[in-house]
Each structure stands twice: as C-alpha cells, then as structure tokens.
C-alpha cells in the first residue's frame, strides 16, 4: 500500500463523520484523529471504533501529539466562530487547514475551478465556500470561461433535515459567502445567492438553479458544451451531480437547473448539499496530499 | 359573531405584496402618491418593499423599478401619521438590508420564514429587537401546511428571539375560517399576553374577509390587507371592504372608510396591469395550497412551453413547494413538456 498523508478531522458531527467515511476510502489520506468537545459524542465513539485517536478537549487535546502523530492536514467541520482559532493552532504546528465552515479566512476553493491554483499557491488555509457554492460555482465558471458574465445568481433549495443548527443560526453567512464565491471563483462581475429550506417529506434532493446574465449574447453551443464538460468534472467526486434541465437561453439569461444526490455514506442521499462539501473537502485534501507525497510541498508552520 | 369594541391595527400590503402582480414595477412616484393618500385616510401601517422582501431584486423574483432604499427613503419622509414597514426573508435578505431599512426610517420590520423554519430568523429578530423603537415582527408563511400545535411552537420561537408581534400567514389563501380560528385561538392562549398577534390573508378562495374576521374573533389584533386587494394571487384581503365590515360590526380601525375607498378606486385600480381577482389560476392557488406569488411565473411558463398553468400550479402544490421556490416553476414546466413529448 502506498504512503498516505495523515489527517485530523475537527468536529465529529454529521459532516465530520461523513468526511471520515469518505476519507477511509482515500488512496492519499489516512484519518488518524477525530477532535470533538463533547465526551459522549456518538461521532467520537464511532471514530474511536474505526481506530482513530479521539479527544473531547477540542483542538487543544490533539496539539501535544499532533506532530508526533504525523498530522499534516486538518479538516475543520465545526463552526465559523471557532474556526480562526483552530486554524491558527494547527497551522503553527505545520498542518494545512481545510475549512468546511463559512469562516472564509483563507482563499476559496472549488475543486473543479481553482483547486490547482490554491494548491500551487501552497496556501496553509483554504475555505470550501458553502454547500450552495460548491454546487453552483462550477456552473457559473462554466459560463464565464466562455464569455463575460455580468451577474451570477444561484438559488439553492435544501431539505429542512439537511440544514443543521449552524446554518440556521447564521444563514446570512451562507448568502454572503456564496455570493462572494460566485464573484471570486465563479468569475461573475456581481454575485447573488438565495437559499430556500423546504420541509417536505420525504426530504427533497438538493436543487440548485444557476442564472447567469452574460454581457453579450450568449454563445449557446459553446456554453452548453462547457457546462456538460464541467458537470463531468464535478461528477468525479460527486457522482450524483445531475443536470435536470437547461441550459435555458432567454436573451442574455442562461439558466441551469441542477440536482445533487449524495453518496449516502453517513449522511442520507437527499443531503447532496452536505455530501458535496465533504467530497470537495476530501478532493482538496487529496490534491494537497499528492503534492506533499511527491515532495513538492512541505507544509510548514505559518 | 360579536366583535363590538375590538380594536385592530390595519396594515396595507399594496406597496409590497402588490408588487407581485405589478412584477415589481411600481415607481417611486406612484408609491409616494399612494402612501400619502393612505396616510391621509388614516391607515396606520404601510408595507413598502420588493414583493419578495428586502434584497428580493433578482433574476429569480424579478428586478424592481427602483431599489428598496429608494422606495423606503422616498415614502418614509412623506408620512405624517402612518408608519412604514419592510419585509425580510432570511435566505434572500440579510441583516445588512435590515440596517439599511432602519436607516431609511421604517418603524416595523417583519422577518418571514416558512412555517416550520422559524429558527432561521434568530439572527434577524435578535438584531431587530436591539433597536429601541423598532416594532419587531415574526411572520410565519404558508401556515396552512402545519397543525395549530406545531405552528404555535414556531411562533413562540420567534417570540423568544425578540418579536413583539407574530403573524399567522395564509400565503396560499388556502385556509378556511375554521383553520384560522383554531390556529389564532391556540396562539393567543399560548403566547405572552403582551405579544401582538396578526393575520395575513390571501383572497384566492374569496375568504380574505371571513378569515380576517375569524382571526379578530379568536384574538388577532393586526390584520393585513390591501386596498382594492392589490397583492399576489387573487390579492390580499381587500382592505376597504374589511374596513366597511369592521365599521358595521363595531370594530375600531381608525381608518376613514370613504377615503380608503377612494384610494382603492382612484389610485390602486388604475395601477393594475390585469384585474387582480379570483380567476381560474388564482383559485387554483387557494385550492391546491400554492404560494400566491407563483401565479405569474406559472402563467409565463405555461405560455412558453405550451402547458396549462393550472396543471403547473396543481403539481407545485402536490410537491409541497414553499415560498421563494420560483426557480422550480420553469424547471417543472420543462419536465412537464418533456413528459408530454413536445419541445
């Protein structure tokens, strides 16, 4: 078996646990630590059963042996409020931080669009934008790489059961961070994001609508081709990323209707919004790991 | 029904909910003229925002003739007695919009969520409640979709976040008077006595007046409506009619009925692009329990893809879509057109 890069997951909730299940299959990443704050957390117990070291004392509980344990990559699946502190601590000990919270202190990373760029810049903290961002920014980029996009707007509809307390308490973070990602990574001059939570039972799959307003008349053939190519790229790590309808062309409007079904590793399949985050986070870590294993990147204390 | 001596605060929706049938194209001048006439008639509270609330300007819901800031600034400074409210749907607008609206001079902010999702309003209600004089309102939409007990749990959440008034909102115009009575009565019994309780109706089943009366009888003290009914679907509770009924029943509104009638007839009706009334499509909204502002989107998609707007609306109801899912309509129409084998 080839050498893998050791990783720690901070936050043993649904996202952290789903990430763990995915990471266990990875050819490049070996999860060795699960970090929580609640001793009786079922996520910590599960990680322990899977052979990981665990602590309920937060990041501080891992730090004393983190370097000894060879951790070079950390995932933060906690909340925006504690992320900066977590990141500072693990960066100091030379581990790259992959941020799955909306804190966005590091550069945004959407694997199919700018992962290579982020990795080659050797950033010690990268942010995964938001679930809606991961699901839609590739489509905005698919249009903007063909021609200039004046305005990109996305509507993400998620099932009530897949919207956790963190998202609910701070829903403005979602709209702001996603809108910013549409501009910075998606390449739209102006971005807007809308999130809708639907409580229907059985829970609906994540739906995403992407509207782009192009500066000039859209080149329908080139845009359609670009969209299909981008979807194939995203499907490499999220097989359930599906074009439902479109692109619809109406004047300078280009509308794309997507559905995202998760893999159903730990999270239910309808929670494609969460799955695409964990899959994108892992994909990012793997790309860093390849660089580390090839000796092209040595994460060092920030 | 004996409502003698009850007092209600009327809240006009023409310049917010009425933006839906106008495709958000009411001009600043029209808003100012109408709001001044309403103020003159004694209407105490007037909502002014994009139809989908602050930050609603979008491809998805439509770009308005002017920004929320322009509308609010222009209207607020002209009001003598009336106060101005703004609507905000978390997920569409943010606390930044809320602050902007306060700076423009609103006195009331209404934070609206789907009836089961009150917890997404915490950020906004908490911030609104920190302003000393801001009337902070929680607004639970599509309230027909859940039973009274669950609805009250959600209303109480908004009360705990800092709302001094909470609303039961019949966004689909689906409720029958009994539905209103059971929900309002339970809410009144369970909420803090000082918390105000409101009802927002739509006239899709022609029950706007009857439902609003049921709400007042069961303990609501704020009633939304719009003069001449200008609002989404078949419109809101037609306010001048409700005022007339209140007068006859001895309910105090403080509004001058004849002046209100004149605003409806002379200013609102001429503004309508199409007559806002109960017709086949708006009746379908009420019958199938569909968010009222889907109406024009369904009509447009039906026309574009050669479908029946009624079929689209019925299917949207069957899929239990919620407010804000306008993007679902073209997507669904494309599916229906594919299934039919055309296009």
**CA dist., res. B110 & res. B107, Å (int):** 10
The answer, yes or no, to whether residue B335 has pLDDT greater than 90, is yes
Where would I find the beta strands (DSSP E) of B58-107?
83-88
Kindly report the nearest CA distance between residue B299 and chain A, in angstroms.
Answer: 17
Check B59 against A176: CB less than 8 A apart: no
- Write down the pLDDT at residue B341: 81
pLDDT tens-digit profile, chain A (302 residues): 468 999 999 999 989 999 999 999 999 999 999 999 999 999 999 999 999 999 999 999 999 999 999 999 999 999 888 999 999 999 999 999 999 998 889 999 999 999 888 888 889 999 999 999 999 999 999 999 999 999 999 999 999 999 888 788 889 999 999 999 999 999 999 999 999 999 999 999 999 999 999 999 999 999 999 999 999 999 999 999 999 999 999 999 999 999 999 999 998 999 999 999 999 999 999 999 999 999 989 888 86
Check B322 against A199: CB less than 8 A apart: yes
- Write down the pLDDT at residue A129: 95
- Write down the pLDDT at residue A6: 97
**CA dist., res. A202 & res. B34, Å (int):** 45
Q: Which of A116-125, A137-146, B20-29, B64-73 has the lowest mean pLDDT?
A: A116-125
CA dihedral A20, A26, A28, A34 (to 10 degrees): 10
A131 is an active site residue: yes
What is the gyration radius of the CA atoms in chain A, in angstroms?
19
- Write down the pLDDT at residue A2: 63
Structure tokens at A292: 């580390």
Q: Which residues of B touch A165 (CB under 8 A)?
A: 119
- Write down the pLDDT at residue A12: 95
Check A194 against B94: CB less than 8 A apart: no
Strand duo B108-114 + B83-88: pairing: parallel
- Which is the catalytic residue, given B11, B20, B97, B202? B20
- Which is the catalytic residue, given A74, A109, A131, A212? A131
**CA dist., res. B49 & res. B70, Å (int):** 10
* Nearest C-alpha in B relative to A198: B322
Whether the CB-CB separation of B93 and B72 falls below 8 Å is answered with no
The answer, yes or no, to whether residue B342 has pLDDT greater than 80, is no
**CA dist., res. B103 & res. B101, Å (int):** 5
Whether the CB-CB separation of B29 and B18 falls below 8 Å is answered with no
Label residue A269 exposed, middle or buried (CB < 10 Å: 0-12, 13-18, 19+).
Answer: middle
Check B324 against A199: CB less than 8 A apart: no
- Mutant choice from B50, B53, B55, B59 vs A, greatest count of A C-beta within 10 A: B59
Q: Chain B residues within 8 A (CB-CB) of chain A? A: 58-60, 90-92, 94-96, 114, 116-117, 119-120, 122-124, 319-325, 327-328, 330-331, 334-335
Give the count of beta carbons closer than 10 Å to the beta carbon of residue B65. 18
Whether the CB-CB separation of A206 and A167 falls below 8 Å is answered with no
Render pLDDT for B192-237 as a digit per residue (tens, 0 to 9).
999 999 999 999 999 999 999 999 999 999 999 999 999 999 999 9
- Write down the pLDDT at residue A1: 46
Render pLDDT for B231-287 as a digit per residue (tens, 0 to 9).
999 999 999 999 999 999 999 999 999 999 999 999 999 999 999 999 999 999 999
* Nearest C-alpha in B relative to A193: B92
**CA dist., res. A200 & res. B15, Å (int):** 31
pLDDT band at B188 (very low <50, low <70, confident <90, very high): very high
Check A170 against B123: CB less than 8 A apart: yes
Q: Which residues of A touch B330 (CB under 8 A)?
A: 245, 248, 255, 257
ipTM value = 0.96
H-helix or E-strand spanning residue B243: helix B239-249
């Amino acid at each position: 078996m080839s050498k893998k890069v050791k990783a720690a997951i901070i936050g043993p909730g649904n996202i952290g646990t789903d990430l763990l299940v995915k990471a266990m299959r990875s050819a490049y990443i070996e999860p060795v630590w699960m970090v929580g704050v609640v001793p009786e957390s079922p996520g910590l117990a599960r990680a322990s059963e899977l052979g990981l070291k665990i602590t309920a004392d937060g990041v501080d509980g891992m730090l004393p042996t983190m370097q000894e344990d060879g951790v070079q990559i950390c995932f933060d699946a906690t909340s925006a409020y504690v992320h900066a502190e977590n990141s500072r601590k693990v960066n100091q000990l030379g581990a790259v931080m992959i941020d799955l919270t909306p804190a966005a202190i590091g550069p945004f990373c959407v694997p199919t669009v700018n992962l290579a760029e982020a990795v080659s810049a050797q950033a010690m903290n990268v942010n995964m934008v938001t679930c809606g961002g991961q699901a839609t920014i590739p489509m905005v980029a698919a249009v903007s790489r063909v021609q200039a996009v004046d305005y990109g707007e996305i509507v993400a509809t998620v099932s009530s059961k897949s919207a956790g307390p963190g998202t609910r308490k701070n829903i403005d973070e979602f709209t702001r961070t996603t809108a910013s990602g549409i501009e910075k990574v998606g390449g739209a001059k102006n971005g807007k994001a809308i999130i809708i939570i639907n409580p229907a039972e059985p829970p609906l799959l994540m739906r995403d609508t992407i509207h782009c307003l192009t500066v000039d008349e859209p080149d329908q053939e080139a845009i359609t081709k670009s969209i299909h190519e981008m979807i194939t790229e995203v499907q490499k790590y999220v097989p359930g990323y599906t074009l439902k309808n479109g692109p619809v062309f109406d004047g300078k409007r280009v509308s794309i209707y997507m559905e995202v079904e998760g893999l159903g590793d730990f999270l239910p399949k309808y929670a494609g919004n969460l799955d695409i985050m964990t899959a994108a986070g892992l994909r990012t870590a793997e790309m860093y790991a390849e660089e580390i294993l090839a000796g092209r990147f040595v994460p060092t204390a920030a | 029904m004996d409502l003698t001596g009850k007092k209600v605060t009327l809240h006009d929706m023409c310049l917010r909910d009425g933006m839906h049938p106008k495709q958000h194209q009411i001009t600043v001048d029209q808003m100012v003229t109408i709001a001044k006439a309403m103020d003159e008639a004694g209407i105490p509270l007037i909502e002014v925002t994009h139809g989908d609330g602050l930050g609603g300007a979008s491809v998805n819901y439509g770009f308005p003739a002017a920004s929320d800031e322009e509308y609010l600034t222009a209207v607020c400074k002209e009001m003598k007695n009336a106060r101005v409210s703004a609507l905000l749907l978390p997920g569409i607008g943010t606390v930044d919009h809320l602050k902007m609206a306060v700076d423009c001079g609103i006195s009331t902010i209404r934070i609206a969520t789907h009836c089961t999702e009150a917890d997404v309003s915490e950020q906004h209600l908490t911030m609104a409640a920190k302003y000393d004089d801001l009337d902070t309102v929680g607004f639970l939409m599509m309230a027909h979709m859940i039973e009274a007990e669950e609805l009250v749990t959600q209303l109480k959440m908004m009360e705990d976040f800092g709302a001094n008034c909470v609303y039961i909102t019949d966004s689909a115009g689906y409720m029958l008077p009994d539905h209103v009575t059971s929900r309002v009565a339970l809410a009144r019994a369970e909420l803090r006595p000082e918390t105000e309780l409101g009802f927002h109706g739509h006239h899709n089943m022609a029950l706007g007046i009857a439902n609003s009366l049921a709400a007042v009888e069961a303990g609501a003290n704020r009633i939304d409506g719009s003069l001449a009914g200008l609002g989404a679907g078949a419109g809101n509770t037609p306010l001048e009619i409700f005022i007339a009924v209140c007068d006859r029943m001895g309910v105090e509104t403080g509004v001058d009925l004849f002046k209100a009638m004149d605003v409806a007839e002379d200013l609102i009706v001429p503004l309508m692009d199409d007559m806002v009334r109960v017709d086949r499509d708006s009746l379908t909204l009420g019958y199938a329990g569909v968010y009222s502002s889907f109406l024009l989107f369904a009509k447009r998609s039906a026309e574009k893809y050669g479908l029946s707007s009624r079929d689209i609306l019925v299917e949207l109801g069957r899929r239990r879509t919620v407010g804000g899912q306008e993007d679902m309509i073209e997507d669904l129409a494309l599916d229906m057109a594919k299934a039919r084998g055309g296009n």
